Amino acid sequence: MIRNAVPIPPMRWRDYVLEKGQGLAAFWARHLDARERSVLVVLGKGFDPRSHAGLDMILAAGGGGSRNVLGLDYDEGEGSASLAYASRVERNWEHITGAVGDRGMVNVHRLRFWSGKRRVGPLNAANVFNAPEELTHYDDVVVDISAMPRGIYFPLLARLLFLLDEAVPGQTGPTNLHVIVADDPLLDSRIMDEGIDETAEFLHSFEGSFSREATGQQSKVWIPLLGEGRTTHFDRIYDRVKPDEICPVLPFPSKNPRRGDDIVQEYRDLLFDQHRLDPRSLMYAAEQNPFEVYRRVRKAVFHYRDTLSLIGGCKVALSALSSKLMSLGTLMVAYELKPLLDIGLAHIDCRGYRVEDFESTPELFGLWLAGECYAV
Amino acid sequence: MKPPRNPFRLRRSESIDSEATFLSLFEPGILDILPVEAWKESVQVIRSAAGGGKTSLMRLFVPGALQTLHAMHTHRTDEQTGELFQKLKELGAIDEAGPKLLGVSLLCGRGYSRLEDLPLDDARKSRLFFGLLNARIVLAVLHNLAAFKKLDFPEGLAQVQVRPPTVSFSVPSLSLPCDGLRLFEWARDLEHKVCSSLDSFGPLRVDSLPGHDSLLSLALIRADTLLVGGEPLADRVLLMMDDIQQLTSAQRERLIEAVIEARSPVGVWIAERFEALNTNDMLASGTNEGRDYNEPISIEKYWRPKHARFEKLAIKIADRRVRYAADAEINAFRACMQDSLDVPQYEPVFARACEEIEARIIARAGSSKRFEEWIAARRQAQGTPRDLAVGWRSLEVLIERELRRPQKSLFDDLLLEEEELEQKNDSSVRNAAELFLARECGLPYYFGPECVARLASLNIKQFLGLAGDIFEESAASELLKKGAALSPERQHKLMKRAAQAVWDDIPNGVAMGRELRNFLEAVGKFSHWYTYRPTAPNDPGVGGTALRMSERGLLMDENHLRARPNHKRFADILASALAHNLLVADLDYKCKGEKWMVLNLNRLLCVHFDLPLNYGLYKERPLQQLVDWIDRPFAEPKTEGSLL
């Protein structure tokens, strides 16, 4: 409750850098041309045809300096449906190693998803990097999340932000943190989750006070970003959060202007019949601008905090059932506000994916999350 | 808040806002699962699949619910809660003076499993686990105590005295006796220290985290150690620990062991989904338990032999929901559906069926004089068109049986008498005939309130989903002045649609779901083929399969499973099917001089395969065939009997 009394702090990402398509390629060409830069690209060693689109673009942008790659090699366990696509994983990886050539080193980090029956992927993803020194000798760290599950890139990015925030200023120049995502809603809709976990959990380092009995009487607000084909996820995350209020976010503006309506139709039974949602609680945020999502959700969080402070405060859970691009907005809110508020990221994973058709025409988006541009 | 349009959609108890509404919707018959004597002062494990009703049961005993029930009873505000009050009074939870026990509900699934991933030895992990659990138990009790005694939280806890249960009892960092506020601060700080370390953005620093060696909180929360105004706070304390399946198996074992060892006067419920059980326990279905504590209550297992009673209760639950609905004039669940095909609409269908079946019978057996009396009896029969059609179809089955009898006797050519027909034409044959007719004539089969209740497969959440679909359309129909009662066809379509949705969701929502669905598909198709054989063996039909208990033993034998990985995979898939209530097992079923593990399909899956809804009829298969079904779908044999 005392935590809830803090005034609203300035927005960390009020001014931001977001580029897409040709603009993104031009941005990287300019950025790498300015001086010699050593770049580390962290990407998923996955079946997704988009997994190397970001790396290809950076390599094509030219410039001097090393171009190292760290591939996260997913050990999803024997039962994973994704094992059927092992040949695609290898093909993508061959492309990556071939593309880097002698521009830098290519390393692989084995990421175990399970320890017995426990999911430890998020914890292991956070532990890929453990000290600022692992990052600060690079000028740019780029995380391409196109072939990473949410349960991996959320804790990974949070750890990277934390380590870069913790890095002793002045010892080296600021290391930039970029995120690249190859957005293709059509392909996303064709990648079906198989074997969704029985229970949702809060992601590593994003549990907030949700499990705490001491604040168990506080109201719980849940802000899920809704997306297609995720009603089972919604249902199971609801069971974990057990919210008193739900404030769903719909993608609007969106390429398909009816997309938000279609999503409401899909979730109708859950939202209005089971949970008796007041339609005035629906929020909208731009489908292709995670910083807009960040602003909207952040504003809503403070709104709930102020309103519910009269009855003892609240806890806020965020969940991303939407595109990866939008989901980054929730990560930014949760990362920024965690030291100030009771906020968590509730999430549910699955045991692999089934893809009907790999045809993809992605559009690359790039976000600059930390570093030089924010140091002014 | 305004009552909902469709109250069946409130499938979770936590979706029901007020205690008064929750109590009005709670069907007291559900309390029958509790053993009358031993439920308050001992350790009681309660298990079910998701949606079995554990959380609703526990909500009933928390202070808010009991106080509201007492107020409703005193002021006679709701006639529907009278029976509930009486039942709880018999159980000793309440009386005319008010609640007599302090019920404390604690969600135990939250964040404990990550303790197992810390870089610590087992002893330190155990200390951390008990430390965190002790803190949360104390905090949950203090929360509920404040509600029970109507104290401000946490300030009002200063009025609570906490005394040590024995002179030698001690708690790290807490001196006793103390007041409730001090106890709250101790527990809050302990929880904060552990949780904030675990939830850090940076690498974990766990060396200095506090912990406890045992479940000492059970000694602190006894009714005689917590005093308000010098008096014990209640007759007894009941700690209800929910979601235990989310603990790791090591934590779960530690917890159950510690609770038993504590021999506390505090009643402890340990509620978990079947998923908590490992493959072995799941296949054993809890038979190796029950020595150190009350026999575990397995909700579905409890109702299985009493399924007719469950189905009556389900309809009562539905009646309560119907009455709670906003804007609907319907006053009973039965009013939402027609439950008979004896209406003019179907008469031509049955008449045509009679003609067609008679023609088939004449073609098949008309040349033989043996069946003359039987056929004549059917021609002279009186009754509704449906009765006549069922009569003809059952005759066709019986004639087929006679014609296919493998060993001809000396008297096989003798005329069969009408009396014999009536003896053979029992209700099972007639039920099979009804099923065959439905399929052959495109008639609805899954309709009527009893059918919907049966399709719940003994699971309340499943029932509310199905009944909700019926009510949704019924209310809409009534609003459009078309009458509330849905036609059998519409009900049948809704049930088929619900079955399809469950079927489609299996790969998505269940671990190893695709393999599991392959297996279920083979079971379903095999049952379908067997059921619809012309002689209708095992009439009215089978709804599952079975394997020998000795073969089930192999699935629990580690050495065997190590040597046969495909059997291990099958055991895991089978356990997953049982945990999710997709299959319902009956152990030690005696038949043909052997003991069997019968695997009944969830009744809703029977709808998917057009199977009858009776329990217990099966056709056994060898273990290896069941194992093969995961990868090789069942194919109908080319010749009759080649599989059997």
Which H, E and C letters describe B404-453, residue by residue?
HCCCCCCCCCCCCCHHHHHHHCCHHHHHHHHHHHHHHHCCCCCCCHHHHH
From A304, A203, A198, select the one nearest A244 (Cα to Cα).
Answer: A304
Q: Residue B291's pLDDT is what?
A: 46
Nearest to B9 among A208, A217, A273 (CB): A273
Q: Using CA atoms, how far apart are residues A163 and B327, in angstroms rounded to an integer? A: 57
Tell me the pTM.
Answer: 0.90
- The secondary element (H helix, E strand) that includes residue A98 is helix A86-100
By C-alpha distance, the chain A residue nearest B277 is A117
Whether residue B117 and residue A120 make contact (CB cut-off 8 A), yes or no, is yes
By C-alpha distance, the chain B residue nearest A344 is B199
Per DSSP, the three-state class of B213 is coil
Measured between beta carbons, the chain B residues lying within 8 angstroms of A206 are 199
Residue A163, pLDDT above cutoff 70? yes
Six-digit token pair at A233? 């996820």
Regarding beta strands B98-99 and A114-115, do their DSSP bridges make them parallel or antiparallel, or are they unpaired? unpaired
Beta strands in chain A (DSSP E): 17-20, 39-44, 67-75, 106-112, 114-115, 118-119, 140-144, 176-183, 191-193, 201-202, 219-225, 245-246, 249-251, 283-285, 314-320, 343-347, 353-355, 363-370
Residues A39-93: tens digit of each pLDDT = 999 999 999 999 999 999 999 999 999 999 999 999 988 778 888 899 999 999 9
Regarding beta strands A249-251 and A283-285, do their DSSP bridges make them parallel or antiparallel, or are they unpaired? parallel
- The secondary element (H helix, E strand) that includes residue B268 is strand B267-273
By C-alpha distance, the chain B residue nearest A124 is B117
> What are the phi and psi torsion angles at A311 (to 5°)?
-115, 35
From B579, B318, B306, select the one nearest B458 (Cα to Cα).
Answer: B306
Whether residue B110 contacts residue B132, with contact meaning beta carbons closer than 8 Å, is answered with no
Per DSSP, the three-state class of A365 is strand
First to last CA, chain A: 34
Q: What is the mean pLDDT of residues A246-261?
A: 95
> What are the phi and psi torsion angles at B145 (to 5°)?
-65, -45
Tell me which DSSP letter residue B585 carries. Answer: E
What are the angstrom distances between the C-alpha of B527 and each of A59, B299, B598, B635, B637? 59, 26, 13, 12, 13
Q: Which residues of B51-75 are buried (b: 16+ CB within 10 A; e: fewer)?
A: bbbbbbbbbbbbbbbbbbbbebbee
From B499, B458, B491, B485, select the one nearest B600 (Cα to Cα).
Answer: B458
Whether residue B243 contacts residue B107, with contact meaning beta carbons closer than 8 Å, is answered with yes
Count how many residues are written for chain A.
376
Tell me which DSSP letter residue B35 carries. Answer: -
Q: Residue B472's pLDDT is what?
A: 95
Six-digit token pair at B336? 């939402």
Q: Mean pLDDT of successive 10-residue segments in chain B (644 residues)? A: 86 86 93 78 86 92 96 84 92 93 88 84 91 96 96 94 91 93 96 88 77 92 92 92 89 91 90 78 56 75 90 96 87 94 94 95 85 90 94 94 75 77 90 95 96 95 96 93 93 98 93 93 96 91 93 92 94 92 88 90 96 87 95 82 49
Whether residue A309 contacts residue A5, with contact meaning beta carbons closer than 8 Å, is answered with yes
Q: Using CA atoms, how far apart are residues A159 and A166, in angstroms rounded to an integer? A: 10
Please name the residues in contact with A58: beta carbons below 8 A apart, sequence gap of 6 or more. A28, A32, A39, A41, A67, A142
- Put simply, whether A309 touches B (Cβ < 8 Å) is no
Q: Using CA atoms, how far apart are residues B264 and B262, in angstroms rounded to an integer? A: 5
| Pure H helices in B63-121 | 63-75, 82-91
Q: Using CA atoms, how far apart are residues B81 and B133, in angstroms rounded to an integer? A: 35
First to last CA, chain B: 60
Whether residue A213 and residue B136 make contact (CB cut-off 8 A), yes or no, is yes
Whether residue B249 and residue A162 make contact (CB cut-off 8 A), yes or no, is no
Whether residue A338 and residue B10 make contact (CB cut-off 8 A), yes or no, is no
Give Cα A331 to chain centroid, integer Å.
6
Counting Cβ atoms within 10 Å, is residue B530 exposed (0-12), middle (13-18) or buried (19+)? buried
- Find the farthest-apart pair of alpha carbons in chain A and give their distance in angstroms, rounded: 61
The partner residues of A201 in beta bridges, in order of sequence, read A347
Q: Using CA atoms, how far apart are residues B350 and B438, in angstroms rounded to an integer? A: 10
Tell me which DSSP letter residue B633 carries. Answer: -
Nearest to B508 among A131, A166, A196 (CB): A196
| Pure H helices in B442-512 | 449-454, 460-479, 488-509
Six-digit token pair at B319? 């009646």
- Angle (nearest 5°) at CA B126 between A126 and B249: 80
- Put simply, whether A127 touches B (Cβ < 8 Å) is yes
Handedness of CA A290, A296, A298, A304 (dihedral sign): negative
Question: How many contiguous H segments (helices) and E segments (strands) does chain B have?
Answer: 25, 15
Per the rule left: phi > 0, alpha: psi between -120 and 50, beta: everything else, A371 is: left
From B349, B351, B529, select the one nearest B443 (Cα to Cα).
Answer: B349
Q: Using CA atoms, how far apart are residues B268 and B589, in angstroms rounded to an integer? A: 33
Handedness of CA B258, B259, B265, B266 (dihedral sign): positive
Q: Residue A169's pLDDT is what?
A: 65
Which of B5, B10, B114 is best to mutate for the A interface (most A CBs within 10 A)?
B114
Q: Residue B640's pLDDT is what?
A: 59
Q: What is the mean pLDDT of residues A281-296?
A: 97
Handedness of CA A295, A301, A302, A303 (dihedral sign): positive
Please name the residues in contact with B231: beta carbons below 8 A apart, sequence gap of 6 or more. none
Measured between beta carbons, the chain B residues lying within 8 angstroms of A196 are 508-509
Q: For B612, how many CA atoms within 13 A lie in the half-sphere containing its CB?
A: 26
- Residue B404 is which amino acid? R
Q: Residue B507's pLDDT is what?
A: 92
Nearest to A199 among B117, B135, B246 (CB): B246
- Put simply, whether A228 touches B (Cβ < 8 Å) is no
Q: What is the mean pLDDT of residues A209-231?
A: 93
Q: Using CA atoms, how far apart are residues A117 and B117, in angstroms rounded to an integer? A: 12
Whether residue A220 contacts residue A314, with contact meaning beta carbons closer than 8 Å, is answered with yes
- Put simply, whether A351 touches B (Cβ < 8 Å) is yes
Six-digit token pair at B634? 């069942």
Beta strands in B508-578 (DSSP E): 544-548
Whether residue A115 and residue B12 make contact (CB cut-off 8 A), yes or no, is no
